[in-house]
Each structure stands twice: as C-alpha cells, then as structure tokens.
Amino acid sequence: MTTPQVSFEFFPPQSLEASFRLWDTVQALAPLDPRFVSVTYGAGGTTRDLTRDAVATLHKSSGLNVAAHLTCVNASKAETLQIARDFADAGVNEIVALRGDPPKGSNGFQPHPEGFANSVELIEALSESGDFTIRVGAYPEKHPEAADMQADIDWLKRKIDAGADEALTQFFFEAEGFLRFRDACAKAGITAPIVPGILPIENWKGVRNFARRCGTTVPTWLEDAFEKATRDDREDLLATAVCTELCSDLLDEGVDTLHFYTLNRPELTRDVCHALGVTPQVRLENVA
C-alpha cells in the first residue's frame, strides 16, 4: 500500500472561538505536509468575506498551499471575478470552482441575473485569466440534480474541458462506488485526477442526515455498527476504523491522493492519516 498524499478542507470561522479552533486544527494537521488546504464558501455565498479573510490569513501565517472555494451563487460575474482577483492578490492561486448551493430554504439554484449560469461558465472565466489552478466537485453516486450517472459524468467532462485541473469528490462510505465512477470517467475520456473526498464520521446522526441530503448511500452495515457503537460509547473508535478501512481499500486499488473533510476538527483525520502512514514531516532545519 502506498502512502497517500493528502489535503484538508476547512470552513471559515464565524466567531473568535471558532477562529482559535480552526488555528488549532491547522497546527495539528500541518505537519502531515498536505498538498493544499482549502476553505469553503458558505451556501448562498454567505461567507464571502470570511472565506476571503480566512484564506488570506492562512496563506500568510501557515506556510501551507491554500485553495479558496468560490461559487456562482448570489453574485454577478463581475463580483465573482473580483473575489477571485482578491484571492490572487492575497497570494492564493488555487480555486475550488463550484456552482454552489442556494441559501437554506430557497428552491434550487437560480442564477443571478448578471451572474454565471453554471459551474462551466465560471471555470471558463477563471481558466481564461490564467491565474489559477482549478479544482471542481464530482459525484461518485450522482449529484441529486443529475438526470442519471452518465449525464453527470458528461457534465464533469465539460467542467474538465473548460479548464479544470482536478476533481474532488463528494464523500461516500464504500470504495466500490468510487472505483466504478473512476472507471466510468476514464471511459468517458476524463484524464484529470479524481481525488476521493473522505468524511471522517465525527457525529453519526449529523453525518447520516447530511448523507441523505447529498444522495450518499448509507449502507445498512454502517447503520448497525454505529447503533451498537453508540450504545457502547465507542463511536470514535468505530469512526477511525471505518474511515481507515475505506481509505486503505482505495489505496489498494491504486488511489494515491485523498481529500479530507475535517469539519475543523483534527483528531479523527490525524488518526486516520497516521494509520495510513502519513506521519509528521519534520524538517531538519526546524530540529536544530
């Protein structure tokens, strides 16, 4: 089994306490030498300024390669591209480009009258600027709005052809579905890397509800295992084991890069990484 390269996703802090928690998380995970760390952009574009500030501060203070998420929701093309320029001015040249989800309670994605109509238009504009490495979302179990799996893969191909360099997937609980998706993407002529998104299960009830909303299958064996683990107060132990096994199944099949949804909590992600052989990289100059 190869030791994977990893990356970590955070969300922008909305309070002073959350800022400290994010910083502790970054400190705990930075020694694992991530390819990049990314900061999400709240549904409906709600964290625009927070995301901008968080990526700029992380870039300046952590020494890590930082990627900013950017969506098309609730902004004109000019406003969206101005935010991208602000990222670049802060030294952040990696973007996770998404159509985005609308604010809670609204009925599906409605493009802004002067905004990007979909993710492909956003990717094309970012790519034309030549300033960014562009990553996009991918959906091994199909995006809930896609007509079928093939339509979803065809759309992913359009995103890659529009200038995206890599895809990061929605989370999933069984390796087989991802592997089938990877094969189908290769068959469709997608050559860009497709990096599995891994969600360590911090809070079973929350993750199960979130999975239902995203269209991620929750296998019965996982339901049963968490029901038992909750009774025995062993949820963390189970979460580490389940996530490590999923990752090693993927690595056994030639996957060499993993993207972790940390939810700004480092412990499970760090324990899983350690179990996979991703251990702190200490530089000689920092030891002396």
Residues catalogued as catalytic: 9
* Alpha-carbon span 224 to 229, nearest angstrom: 9
Q: Does 21 bind ligand FAD (CB under 6 A)?
A: no
Please identify which residue in 12, 13, 34, 100 interacts with ligand FAD, judged by CB under 6 A: 100
Please identify which residue in 25, 74, 80, 170 interacts with ligand FAD, judged by CB under 6 A: 170
Burial class of residue 107 (count of CB atoms within 10 Å of its CB; 0-12, 13-18, 19+): exposed
- For residue 71, what are its two tokens? 């969506």
Q: Does 137 bind ligand FAD (CB under 6 A)?
A: yes
Nearest approach, Cβ of 107 to ligand FAD (angstroms)?
A: 13
Please identify which residue in 30, 96, 258, 272 interacts with ligand FAD, judged by CB under 6 A: 96
Q: Judged by CB under 6 A, how many residues of this single chain contact ligand FAD?
A: 23
Q: Does 64 bind ligand FAD (CB under 6 A)?
A: no
57 or 119, CB closer to ligand FAD?
A: 119
Please identify which residue in 13, 140, 197, 266 interacts with ligand FAD, judged by CB under 6 A: 197
Q: Residue with structure tokens 């970054």?
A: 26
Please identify which residue in 25, 57, 71, 264 interacts with ligand FAD, judged by CB under 6 A: 71
93 or 118, CB closer to ligand FAD?
A: 118
Q: Does 262 bind ligand FAD (CB under 6 A)?
A: no
Residues in touch with ligand FAD (CB under 6 A): 40-41, 43, 69, 71, 96, 98-101, 118-119, 137, 139, 143, 145-146, 151-152, 155, 168, 170, 197
